[in-house]
Amino acid sequence: MANQLRVTLEIGPKGKKVAAVAPDWPGLERGAKTEEAALERLQSYLPRYAQVAKLAGMDAEFADLSTVDVVEHYPGTGSTDFWGISFAFSSIDKQDLSSGALERELTLMQACWAFFDAVRGRVSAQMQKGPRGGGRDRDHIVDHTIHVEQIWAQKLGLHTPSDADRTDEGLRAHRDAYCNAIRAFHAEGKMARTWSLRYLIRHTAYHTLDHAWEMEDKDLTVGVR
């Protein structure tokens, strides 16, 4: 139904962690120790994800979601248990996408990028440290996020310069190439090596948002939100 938020639950093989994934909203994914806790945590992030939906021009559609519908339980990997992050494919990830559905998911992934850029532009350079004084500062988080994405781009045959993120133009060129390569692979019915395109999109969106939210949560700027 149109007002239902579809959710899949990825269960770690040892049952230590569960990742709750909203397959229709790339990037909306949270993990916890139990199914119930994962679902609760996912729902607690709906107001934060609403900002992404607004950037994508889908805020009205997102605001209409009123109930959660768990549509699938599927096995994860050892990394699911360790990190509480989705590292396996649901049956939805393996389904064919129409060109229109692909563009919708790419639009949401691009909205995650836009949100990430906005966050990096307004948070403090130094981030709040952990209880033992550890943790990365803003620029390290940004570099990590983009460089991991450049590694994933190799699954699409892309090899962008390692310093592409140093300028707005370089980062824009990388992202444009990323989206266009996904479109080309889709047109040819190809996977991104062992990853389905739908998983690549949602995993990219998740990684981007997870670190954007990390920067928000560790921001030392007074009154940032």
pTM as predicted: 0.95
Domain spanning 4-83, CATH architecture: 2-Layer Sandwich (3.30)
pLDDT (tens place) for every residue of the chain, 225 residues total? 578 999 999 999 999 999 999 999 999 999 999 999 999 999 999 999 999 999 999 999 999 998 999 999 999 999 999 999 999 999 999 999 999 999 999 999 999 999 999 999 999 999 999 877 778 999 999 999 999 999 999 999 999 887 877 889 999 999 999 999 999 999 999 999 999 999 999 999 999 999 999 999 999 996 544
Supply the DSSP string of 29-73, one letter for each residue. Answer: EEEESSHHHHHHHHHHTHHHHHHHHHHTT-HHHHHT--EEEEEEE
Q: Which residues have a Cβ under 8 Å from the Cβ of 34 and sit 6 or more positions away? A: 18
Residues ≥6 apart with Cβ < 8 Å to 164: 146, 150, 170, 171, 173, 174
Burial-class residue 202 by CB neighbours within 10 Å (0-12, 13-18, 19+): buried
Sign (positive or negative) of CA dihedral 49, 143, 139, 175: negative
